Amino acid sequence: MDPTNHPVRVILADDHAVVRAGIRQFLEHGSGIEVIAEAGDGQETCELIDQQQPDVLVLDMQMPKASGIDVTRWVRAHYPRIGVLILTAYDDDPFVTAVLQAGANGYVLKTASPEELIQAVREVHAGRSVLDPSITRKLLSQYSSQSGFAPVEALSDREREVLTLAGRGHTNKAIGMQLGISDRTVQNHLARIYEKLHAASRTEAVMRAVSLGWLPANLGEIDER
């Protein structure tokens, strides 16, 4: 996408006004991003999404009235095309796992640089998922050490091809074009992959496949949706 043609319309949600002001300044300094509204709690966030229907939601984890996890679930149920980027100070495994399972497209820590945050918004808007590198390492370690996980079923060669391309940031349409199959067939393959790997998102599926040695380790270090 050419950012000069259609600005990425963002709603920024954080319960600290000073934090919102700083993040807004960072985002709007990046070419092609426009913060169209701000919210200070989860309920207000959902109301603004209804009114504005942004391209991307930049969302704090801990907010009054509804948490970032609650808002993410609500967005996925009502506006599945809106990208959700979690921007938080929390890197605890339960938070990360819960928000990814809720359907967030990205998880970035507030220690990220302005350039990293701007790029994360653009990547989420482009249909890809983004994980903070430190989160990626923790998830890979977590999946590798969880011997108590339910047994996984091996992926077919085609399913590995689909998941590899998804892990490299390709959309369903792009995957279909490369493999000579329809978007719907790609969706069906991904659904089967999620079922086999007991994953709720592309992020989880890629991480689990990497931890099992089924995909190259560097896929866990890049954007993947």
Q: What is the CATH number of the domain that holds 174?
A: 1.10.10.10
121 pLDDT band (50/70/90 cuts)? very high
Is 15 part of any domain?
yes
| Of the residues 127, 149, 184, the one at which a domain ends | 127
| Of the residues 86, 102, 127, the one at which a domain ends | 127
Q: Which residue has the higher pLDDT, 27 or 94?
A: 27
Mean per-residue pLDDT, 58-74: 92
Q: Could you report the per-residue pLDDT of 2-61, keeping only the tens digit for each? A: 444 689 999 999 999 999 999 999 998 867 999 999 999 999 999 999 999 999 999 998
CATH number of the domain bearing residue 15: 3.40.50.2300
pTM score: 0.66
Q: Could you report the per-residue pLDDT of 166-219, keeping only the tens digit for each? A: 877 778 888 999 999 999 999 999 999 998 888 877 777 887 787 777 776 555
The predicted structure's pLDDT at residue 220: 45
The predicted structure's pLDDT at residue 221: 42
150 pLDDT band (50/70/90 cuts)? low
The predicted structure's pLDDT at residue 149: 53
The predicted structure's pLDDT at residue 166: 84
The tokens describing 121, both together, are 């918004």
Total tally of structural domains belonging to the chain: 2
- Are 90 and 37 within one domain? yes
- Are 69 and 152 within one domain? no
The predicted structure's pLDDT at residue 1: 43
Residue where the block lists tokens 């984890």: 61
Is 90 part of any domain?
yes
The span from the CA of 165 to the CA of 25, in Å, is 34
The span from the CA of 217 to the CA of 211, in Å, is 8
Say which DSSP state 156 is in.
P
The predicted structure's pLDDT at residue 151: 64
User: What DSSP letter does each residue of 106-142 carry, written as one string?
Assistant: EEEETTS-HHHHHHHHHHHHTT--EE-HHHHHHHHHH
Amino acid 86 reads I
- Are 151 and 215 within one domain? yes
Mean per-residue pLDDT, 147-163: 77
Q: How far is CA 216 from CA 16, 210, 221, in A?
A: 40, 6, 10
Q: Establish how many alpha carbons lie within 13 A of residue 85's alpha carbon, considering only the half-sphere containing its beta carbon.
A: 34
Q: Which has the closest alpha carbon to 18: 43, 38, 42, 44?
A: 38
The tokens describing 61, both together, are 């984890």
The predicted structure's pLDDT at residue 154: 83
Is 59 part of any domain?
yes
Residue-number span of the structural domain to which 198 is assigned: 141-221
Is 1 part of any domain?
no
- Are 158 and 83 within one domain? no
97 pLDDT band (50/70/90 cuts)? confident
The span from the CA of 103 to the CA of 80, in Å, is 9
